[in-house]
Amino acid sequence: MEFIYISRRQLRIGIVACLLFVIGIVGYGLVNIFYEETLSRVGELVILLDPGHGGVDGGTRDQWGNLEKDINLAVGKLVDHQLQSCGMQVLMSRKGDIALAPFTGQPGRHRRDLLERIRRAREENCLFLVSIHCDWSRDVREMGAKVFYNALQPESKNLASLIQQELNRVQIRQRKEAPGKYLMIRQEGITGVIVEVGFLSNSQEALLLQNELHRSRLAFAISRGILKYSQSFLDGT
């Protein structure tokens, strides 16, 4: 008889993946009912989906060298597809591995990149934007997707809360939305949030973020949160 050795680390990762899979199935069972309730009027709204970083700006990375910019784009494309299938008008700040402000050798490239994303949102009259990122911490135990909002804008907090609720349905570590002082979400006339889909500093979560099924669950949760907010916005509640 041949025995296969499984390390404790591999076992933990497997358990987490299985639990997330079960939670994901439960969530997917609700999608058709919810979409039917929100399809009729979401086409009135325009959203900017912003996969963070890109091009020369790789963002953070995990211990195996996988870059944040690639994860952000992969999740962003999934959210884009799901929202458009529901009739929502979606503007993507980038659809490929590009920087919105090319490196010119001059300082301030990062800020110019952010301002270009904001300019596109205003040009297309986007009412709200969702910027997708990955987090990193010196504490390698930190994990879980978390949403940041503009504390000076109640609608930003509402959007963040609804997305966070849906993310908590598909992840083990329960997180709470939090205020953040980021340029992307401090824009007058645009309701903005930043969604950190997980910690690349946590090896277990970094592996999950390379998994297509896990990315799909995250995208599904983000989409549900956006659609719930859209419904309440259109209903004036």
Spatial contact of 149 and 179, defined as CB atoms under 8 Å apart: yes
Question: Across the chain, what does the average pLDDT equal?
Answer: 86
- Angle formed by the axes of helices 8-28 and 154-169, nearest 10°: 110
- pLDDT confidence of 11, banded at 50, 70, 90? very low
Distance CA 213, CA 22 (A): 12
pLDDT of residue 141: 97
Q: Is the pLDDT of residue 219 over 60?
A: yes
Tokens of 176: 């709470």
Q: Are 170 and 220 in contact (CB under 8 A)?
A: yes
Q: Which of 70, 111, 28, 112 is nearest to 197 (CA)?
A: 70
Residue 140 has pLDDT above 70, yes or no: yes
As a whole number, mean pLDDT of residues 208-234 equals: 95
Given a contact cutoff of 8 angstroms between Cβ atoms, the answer to whether 82 and 31 are in contact is no
The pLDDT value given to residue 233: 86
Cα separation, 195 vs 47, whole angstroms:
14
Res. 2 pLDDT band, cuts 50 70 90: very low
Tens digit of each residue's pLDDT (9 = 90 or more) over 30-47: 445 455 555 667 778 899
Share of the chain above pLDDT 90, in %: 70
Contacts of 36 (CB under 8 A, 6+ apart): none
**Is the distance from CB of 88 to CB of 70 less than 8 angstroms?**
no
Spatial separation of the C-alpha atoms in residues 28 and 10, rounded to whole Å:
27
Q: Give the model's pLDDT for residue 236.
A: 79
Which domains are assigned to the chain? 43-235 (3.40.630.40)
Confidence of residue 133 (pLDDT cuts 50, 70, 90): very high
**Residue 192: which pLDDT band, with cuts at 50, 70 and 90?**
very high
More reliable by pLDDT, 36 or 222: 222
Tell me what the mean pLDDT of segment 116-130 comes to.
93
Cβ–Cβ < 8 Å for 184, 115 = no
157, β-bridge pairs: none
227/230 Cα distance (integer angstroms): 5
| The pLDDT value given to residue 207 | 98
